[in-house]
Structure 1
């Protein structure tokens, strides 16, 4: 069992390994994790430099469609040389890359096996630019929320907020998300087709990027997806209850990846 691991912007494969250590300890020992570093050096993600030293990486320098396509080519080359992978585990920007890879694969090489057989997305969404390029309709409300959530994330995740408020800094994006159900959010993006491999979607209701995670779940096949709200912010909580739940969902994805062979 081989797992491709894609970190968040301004972190690294080493940092991602640390971030998942609590739930990973609950998994079988025969799972091989491959932690990539993004191809571009980056500033630290907000709050990351409080706990981790450089280097920090990103998967692209801007999120335009051409940059994402270039990184998709880079990722495909890595998979060709080091795969195949049964599963991908992704956080934040890693989710953008992983979902883009699946969508671009369906557009360009649908006759070939997908880059991985199942996916676990944590606290991340899809690229709205890629979705629109692929013929998805993204509502104006989804676009507005996407822009506002990026700014809110930088503020709530930053070092000053972390040191001053700790876990209480996570307040989500209440002005735009308040009162909306997950089903209503999923309807904000109209899909001509869906990602068709088994997927797990883990997000936190206090994360400013919560809606992005829900949107991503909406473009994946409903009969093959599982969702879980860990109740926190833009993070992977290390409590025993959350770790057990994530480990259980991860093992569901592992089992599904074997069925998909």
Structure 2
């Protein structure tokens, strides 16, 4: 089986390989080729990343506009056409925006053709809000406000000084904006004319400022084909044994479900 791996903004394929090594090591029973791809734009490191990993650092686009995301999706589709097919996509943060955008555009424009990949594993990701609104999804004002506030909070909680002074205690989520809403209440903040139809896994932590974004991303996927897992941490992939086994099992599920849907 073959899995395309899309890293977060200001990291790289090599960094994502390292970040996922612990749970991938729990998949020895399956023959899986993980293809870690670099974004096309070299730039600065994501908050806190340069403390642990040397450059270069890449992103999938330079400006967060609909046109730039469309161009990134076009590049991704070209890469898949050349190097695929892929049984699944494993994505983190900005990589989730890219992968979910590719699936949304496919569903909107060419639903009669096979999707870019058969299943998707989203880690600490959020939906592409501007893309959703362009495609006719209704995003509530509260969801838009929370999206902006969570990005600002993430930059503060993930930066170098927070890591050096607070360590793992820096992750405090976004309680003032999330308002104690349940996951189902958060999902209802986005009204969907259609949903991503392939099997999906959504991995997020309630201490992540982008926690609600992860729940919102699950809202635009088919309820009967999605699985969620709260790792209870921040904007990261915890390397504890229980989390590693849980994520590995979710990857197995996604690959198996993807094969059923062919």
Q: TM-score range by the shorter chain?
A: over 0.9
Instruction: Please say if 1:11 is aligned against 2:11.
Output: yes
Structure 1 segment 1-261 matched on structure 2, within 5 A: 1-28=1-28, 30-261=31-262
Whole-angstrom CA distance in 2 between matches of 1:238 and 1:178: 29
Shift of 1:257: 1.4
Report the Cα distance in structure 1 between the residues aligned to 2:109 and 2:60, rounded to whole angstroms.
21
1:192 match: secondary structure:
coil
- Residue 107 of structure 1: SS of its match in structure 2? helix
How big is the shift at 1:70? 0.3
Indicate the RMSD between aligned Cα atoms, in angstroms: 0.7
Residue 178 of structure 1: how far off its partner (Å): 3.0
Unpaired runs of 5+ residues, structure 2, are none
Q: Give the match's secondary structure for 2:184.
A: helix
SS of 2:81 mapped into structure 1: helix
Q: Which runs of 5+ in 1 are unaligned?
A: none
Instruction: Write the deviation string for residues 179-207 of structure 1: whole angstroms up to 9, x where unpaired.
Output: 11000000000000000000000000000
SS at match of 1:81: helix
With the length of structure 1 as denominator, give the TM-score of the two structures: 0.99
Once residues 160 and 188 of structure 1 are traced to their aligned partners in structure 2, the CA distance between those partners, rounded to angstroms, is 34
SS at match of 2:130: helix
| Count of residue correspondences | 261
Query: How far apart are 1:62 and its partner, in Å?
Result: 1.1
Tell me the SS of whatever aligns to 1:94.
Answer: helix
Question: TM-score of the superposition, structure 2-length normalised?
Answer: 0.99
Question: Runs (4+) of structure 1 moved beyond 6 Å?
Answer: none
Shift of 1:243: 0.4
User: Partners of 1:62 and 1:233 in 2: how far apart?
Assistant: 25
**Paired residue secondary structure (2:239):** coil
Deviation string, structure 1 residues 2-60 (Cα, Å, up to 9, x no partner): 00100000000000000000000000351000000001112100000000000000000
**SS of 1:88 mapped into structure 2:** strand
Residues 74-95 of structure 1 show CA distances to partners (whole Å, capped at 9, x for unaligned) of 0000000000000000000000
Structure 2 CA distance for aligned equivalents of residues 250 and 148 of structure 1: 30
